[in-house]
C-alpha cells in the first residue's frame, strides 16, 4: 500500500489531483482510492485530499495518517498546517515552489527524511506560462510520477485527458511533462522510465 496526501488550498485542484492520480494508477492495473478530507471547503482555505495505491484491492476507508508521499500545492501551507505529520522514514515530498528545497528553510520539518526524495517543482510557474492560470495540480502529478516512479507520465497524461477536454487537456498534459522532466533532472535520473 502506498499512501499519498495532498495539501492545497481550496481552488487549487487538490481533490481533482487525488482523483487523477487514482485514475492513473487504475490505468496501470493497480488498485486505487482517492478521497477528499470532507471539510467545509471554500476557496483559499487549506484542504487535504488522499490517494491510496496498492496491488491488492483496497477495503479500508479511514483517512491517511502515515503518508508515503506528501504533495504540497501551496508553499504558504508549510508553516500553517502540519503537512509532514506521520510521513514514513522513506517518504517522498514534493513542494510547489520555484525555489530549491534547501531555500525553503524547513530542515527541521523534514529532519530524518532522505534528502534525495525531497523535491520542489515550479508548478504554479509552469501552469501560468502554459495555461495562463495558476493551477499547480497537474504539474505536481507529473513531478510525482518522476519522483516515485509509481505511475508513468503517460498514465498521468491519460488521466488528465480523461478529466479535461481539448486545449485545456493538452496544455495540462504538457505541463505534467515539463514538471516530469524538471524532477528527473533535479533527482539526476536521466534514463527513460
User: Site residues (CB under 8 A) for another protein?
Assistant: 18-19, 22-23, 26-27, 31-36, 38, 40, 58-63, 65
For the chain, the straight-line distance linking the first and the last C-alpha, in angstroms and rounded, comes to 21
Closest approach of Cβ 26 to another protein, in Å?
A: 4
Per the DSSP assignment, residues forming a β-bridge with 86 are none
Determine contact, residues 84/112, Cβ cutoff 8 Å. no
Scan for cell 536521466, then name that residue.
190
Secondary-structure breakdown of the chain: helix, strand, coil percentages, each rounded to the nearest 5: 40, 20, 40
* Least spacing, CB of residue 129 vs another protein, in Å: 29
Helix (H, G, I), strand (E, B) or coil at 80: coil
User: How many whole angstroms separate alpha carbon 12 and alpha carbon 37?
Assistant: 14
Which grid coordinates belong to 176? 505534467
Cell numbers representing residue 162 in the block: 480523461
Closest to another protein by CB, 38 or 76: 38
User: Of the two residues 29 and 132, which places its CB atom closer to another protein in the complex?
Assistant: 29
User: Which CB atom, from 62 or from 108, has the smaller least distance to another protein?
Assistant: 62
Min CB(186)–another protein separation in Å? 30
CB of 113 to another protein, least distance (A): 22
H/E element, 32: strand 31-36
93 and 111 Cβ atoms separated by less than 8 Å: no
Tell me whether residue 59 or residue 192 sits nearer to another protein (CB atom).
59
Question: In terms of CB distance, is 61 or 190 closer to another protein?
Answer: 61
**What is the smallest separation between the CB atom of 25 and another protein, expressed in angstroms?**
8
Amino acid at each position: 500500500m502506498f499512501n499519498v496526501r495532498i495539501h492545497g488550498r481550496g481552488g487549487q485542484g487538490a481533490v481533482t489531483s487525488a482523483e487523477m492520480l487514482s485514475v492513473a494508477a487504475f490505468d496501470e492495473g493497480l488498485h486505487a482510492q482517492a478521497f477528499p478530507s470532507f471539510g467545509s471547503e471554500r476557496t483559499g482555505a487549506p484542504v487535504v485530499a488522499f490517494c491510496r495505491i496498492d496491488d491488492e484491492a483496497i477495503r479500508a476507508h479511514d483517512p491517511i495518517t502515515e503518508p508515503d508521499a506528501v504533495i504540497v500545492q501551496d508553499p504558504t501551507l508549510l508553516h500553517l498546517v502540519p503537512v509532514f505529520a506521520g510521513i514514513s522514514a522513506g517518504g517522498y515530498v514534493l513542494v510547489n515552489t520555484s525555489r530549491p528545497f534547501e531555500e525553503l528553510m524547513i530542515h527541521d520539518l523534514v529532519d530524518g527524511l532522505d534528502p534525495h526524495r525531497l523535491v520542489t517543482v515550479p508548478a504554479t510557474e509552469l501552469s501560468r506560462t502554459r495555461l495562463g492560470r495558476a493551477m499547480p495540480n497537474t504539474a505536481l502529478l507529473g513531478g510525482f510520477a518522476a519522483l516515485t516512479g509509481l505511475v508513468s507520465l503517460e498514465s498521468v497524461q491519460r488521466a488528465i485527458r480523461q478529466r479535461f477536454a481539448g486545449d485545456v487537456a493538452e496544455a495540462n498534459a504538457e505541463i505534467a511533462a515539463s514538471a516530469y522532466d524538471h524532477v528527473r533532472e533535479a533527482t539526476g535520473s536521466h534514463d527513460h522510465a
